[in-house]
């Protein structure tokens, strides 16, 4: 039987943030969600999250799945105190307890799995994850013999000068035999520099403690401040880009682009500098994205081109060209071969195949057929101040420059709208509609006597 407990009650004082540390975002997810994900494949019998500082906010963010048991630690008197809160909760539990610090987000699932396997095969009281760091500042130092037996952990701030030269550090990830841990937990004391109950002290109290060193120390980076948060973000981004380059995506300037883990790319996608993909993005083969674009929760077909544009919550068909300086907003559905040009905004609208909105337009709450040509500066007036209304335009229609389509309005197919028209009434198929005041010309005006 396996229980996993994530320590997520701390305030994260060193972040200097209104947000609890474990809810800080990293590559589109939060620290604690990443930590939880690193243990998911173990399919533990119990999943416990120890919450304290802004507990309601953490529960609200993570409670939806119903898989987690939230355990309150109030006040937050250290990592040992946090695990003491499990004593009543796991009273009848018999098995291993995997403890994960909520601020160690780069941990690979394989590493967690190896730790548990190692623990099970050694039959120790505790197996803890360690790393040799070039700069161990801030981490607890692990004192172990050459056979991997651990005598104790001393926190950086409690170390002597000599102890600090030991660069074997505690990752904050432990697999305990729960029964043995439960026996020593009540004996913890606050006899340390912070006056807190340290989980690390249990390691020295247990008879049989061993450690397991990670091969890639970057995996156990703990996040205590914004600088470490930025370093982890950079590492994660590098992992993601490396992965996609292996899958056939080209980055012209990899370091200037960021991705989320929920992005999927086809082959021969070219990503130009300063292009960022967030949320869940599906990008088809041969797309060319950027430079300078933001794509979020969007689905792009094959051979789509996006230049200096923002595409959010949109579905885009094959061979569409977007930008420069276009803005596709949620529920924009763009058919195959469409063209969305400069300074065009499309929201909650469907454009049929081959339609073009090339310059200076707003298309909102509209249904455009196929091969529609929207003239420069055409606007759908979709909002009457209270409600939004629909505009419908049939196949092969064209609007002249600077047309205003006042919704609700339906324009048939093969319609021509004269430039500068304000269209307030429906237009039947094949008609020409002009809705503007007649031009008045006064000859000889310049030579008039005053
Ligand atoms: C801890 C370890 C240190 C290790 C480092 C690895 C202890 C005493 N020290 O130090 O040996 O090298 O992690 O990153 O454990 N938390 C609670 N309740 C509390 C205090 C903290 O739930 O009362 C949670 C925090 O939210 C955080 C985690 O425990 O997720 C670690 O706490 P933190 O204060 O960051 O410990 P470190 O000083 O980094
Ligand atoms: Ca920490």
Ligand nearest to the CA of 36: 1
Residues 397 and 361 in one domain: yes
Stretch among 22-31, 164-173, 322-331, 353-362 having the lowest mean pLDDT? 22-31
Catalytic residue among 81, 119, 327, 359: 359
Residues 79 and 201 in one domain: yes
Ligand nearest to the CA of 173: 1
Task: Identify the pLDDT of residue 64.
Answer: 85
Residues 200 and 251 in one domain: no
E strand or H helix at 235: helix 226-246
Triad 393, 399, 402: Cα angle to 5°: 125
Q: Which of 77, 80, 101 has most ligand 1 atoms within 8 Å of CB, for mutation? A: 101
Q: Is the pLDDT of residue 319 over 80?
A: yes
Mean of the per-residue pLDDT values of the chain? 97
Q: Is the pLDDT of residue 232 over 80?
A: yes
Q: Which of 172, 188, 192, 217 has most ligand 1 atoms within 8 Å of CB, for mutation? A: 172
Assign 85 a pLDDT band (cuts: 50, 70, 90): very high
Task: Identify the pLDDT of residue 218.
Answer: 93
Provide, rounded to the nearest whole percent, the portion of the chain with pLDDT above 90. Answer: 97
Assign 198 a pLDDT band (cuts: 50, 70, 90): very high
Residues 17 and 156 in one domain: yes
Number of separate domains in the chain:
2
Q: Within the chain, how many helices (H) and strands (E) appear?
A: 9, 38
Task: Identify the pLDDT of residue 449.
Answer: 81
Can you give the CATH number for the domain in which 207 is found? Answer: 3.90.550.10
Question: Is 356 contained in some domain?
Answer: yes
Residues 261 and 132 in one domain: no
8 A C-beta contact, residue 81 and residue 13:
no
Residues 355 and 411 in one domain: yes
Assess whether the C-beta atom of 22 lies below 6 angstroms from ligand 1: yes
Structure tokens at 95: 């098995």
Question: Is 419 contained in some domain?
Answer: yes
Task: Identify the pLDDT of residue 65.
Answer: 81
Q: Is the pLDDT of residue 358 over 80?
A: yes
Question: Is 186 contained in some domain?
Answer: yes
Residue at which a domain ends, from 194, 220, 246:
220
* pLDDT tens profile 396-442: 999 999 999 999 999 999 999 999 999 999 999 999 999 999 999 99
* pLDDT tens profile 292-304: 999 999 999 999 9
Tell me the residue ranges of DSSP E strands in 256-387: 263-265, 269-271, 275-278, 281-283, 288-289, 293-296, 299-300, 305-306, 310-312, 315-316, 321-322, 326-328, 333-334, 339-347, 350-351, 356-364, 366-368, 373-374, 379-381
Residues 266 and 302 in one domain: yes
Residues 242 and 338 in one domain: yes
8 A C-beta contact, residue 223 and residue 31:
yes
Can you give the CATH number for the domain in which 366 is found? Answer: 2.160.10.10
Residues 244 and 299 in one domain: yes
Q: Is the pLDDT of residue 450 over 80?
A: no
Task: Identify the pLDDT of residue 291.
Answer: 98
DSSP secondary structure letters along 366-392: EEE-TT-EEPTT-EEE-B-SS-B--EE
Residue at which a domain ends, from 220, 248, 265:
220
User: What is the Cα–Cα distance from 328 to 160, expressed in whole angstroms?
Assistant: 59
Residues 210 and 278 in one domain: no
Assess whether the C-beta atom of 129 lies below 6 angstroms from ligand 1: no
Residues 211 and 243 in one domain: no
Catalytic residue check, 359: yes
pTM: 0.88
Question: Is 409 contained in some domain?
Answer: yes
8 A C-beta contact, residue 26 and residue 34:
yes
8 A C-beta contact, residue 171 and residue 131:
yes
Assess whether the C-beta atom of 169 lies below 6 angstroms from ligand 1: yes
Assess whether the C-beta atom of 200 lies below 6 angstroms from ligand 1: yes
Q: Which residues of 383-421 are buried (b: 16+ CB within 10 A; e: fewer)?
A: eeeeeebbbbbbbbbbbbbbbbbbbbbbbbbebbbbbbb
Question: Is 445 contained in some domain?
Answer: no
Ligand 1 atom nearest residue 103's Cα: 30
Ligand nearest to the CA of 35: 1
Question: Is 438 contained in some domain?
Answer: no
Residues 98 and 197 in one domain: yes
Task: Identify the pLDDT of residue 213.
Answer: 97
Structure tokens at 174: 């432990």
Q: Which of 9, 49, 79, 213 has most ligand 1 atoms within 8 Å of CB, for mutation? A: 79
Question: Is 446 contained in some domain?
Answer: no
Q: Is the pLDDT of residue 98 over 90?
A: yes
Question: Is 358 contained in some domain?
Answer: yes
Assess whether the C-beta atom of 141 lies below 6 angstroms from ligand 1: no
Task: Identify the pLDDT of residue 66.
Answer: 86
Domain that holds residue 84: 2-220
**Nearest protein CA to atom 26 of ligand 1, as residue:** 10
């Amino acid at each position: 039987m396996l229980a996993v407990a994530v320590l997520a009650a701390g305030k994260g004082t060193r972040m200097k943030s209104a947000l609890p540390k474990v809810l800080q975002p990293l590559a589109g997810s939060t620290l604690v969600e990443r930590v939880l994900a690193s243990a998911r494949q173990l399919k533990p019998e119990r999943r416990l999250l120890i919450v304290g500082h802004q507990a309601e906010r953490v529960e609200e963010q993570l409670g939806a799945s119903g898989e987690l048991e939230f355990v309150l630690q109030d006040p937050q008197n250290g990592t040992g105190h946090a695990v003491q809160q499990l004593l009543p909760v796991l009273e009848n539990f018999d098995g291993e307890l995997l403890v994960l610090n909520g601020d160690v987000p780069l941990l690979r699932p394989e590493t967690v799995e190896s730790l548990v396997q190692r623990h099970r095969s050694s039959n120790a009281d505790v197996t803890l994850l360690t790393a040799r760091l070039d700069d161990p500042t801030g981490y607890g130092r692990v004192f172990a013999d050459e056979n991997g037996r651990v005598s104790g952990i001393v926190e950086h701030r409690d170390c002597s000068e000599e102890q600090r030269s030991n660069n074997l550090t505690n990752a904050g990830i432990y697999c305990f035999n729960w029964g043995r841990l439960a026996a020593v937990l009540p004996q913890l004391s606050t006899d340390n520099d912070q006056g807190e109950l340290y989980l690390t002290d249990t390691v020295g109290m247990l008879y049989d403690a061993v450690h397991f060193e990670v091969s890639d120390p970057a995996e156990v980076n703990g996040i205590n401040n914004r600088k470490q948060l930025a370093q982890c973000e950079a590492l994660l981004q590098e992992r993601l880009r490396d992965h996609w380059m292996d899958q056939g995506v080209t980055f012209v300037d990899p370091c200037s682009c960021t991705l989320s883990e929920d992005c999927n790319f086809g082959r021969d996608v070219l990503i130009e500098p300063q292009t960022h993909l967030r949320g869940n993005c599906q990008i088809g083969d041969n797309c060319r994205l950027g430079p300078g674009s933001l794509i979020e929760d969007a689905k792009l077909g094959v051979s789509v081109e996006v230049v200096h544009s923002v595409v959010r919550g949109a579905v885009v068909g094959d061979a569409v060209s977007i930008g420069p300086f276009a803005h596709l907003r949620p529920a924009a559905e763009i058919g195959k071969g469409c063209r969305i040009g400069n300074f065009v905004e499309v929201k909650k609208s469907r454009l049929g195949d081959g339609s073009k909105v090339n310059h200076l337009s707003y298309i909102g709450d509209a249904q455009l057929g196929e091969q529609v040509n929207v003239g420069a500066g055409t606007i759908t007036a979709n909002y009457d101040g209270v409600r939004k209304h629909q505009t419908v335009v049939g196949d092969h229609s064209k609007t002249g420059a600077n047309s205003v389509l006042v919704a609700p309005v339906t324009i048939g197919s093969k319609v021509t709208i004269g430039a500068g028209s304000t269209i307030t009434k429906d237009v039947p198929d094949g008609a020409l509609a002009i809705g503007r005041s007649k031009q008045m010309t006064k000859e000889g005006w310049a030579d008039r006597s005053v």
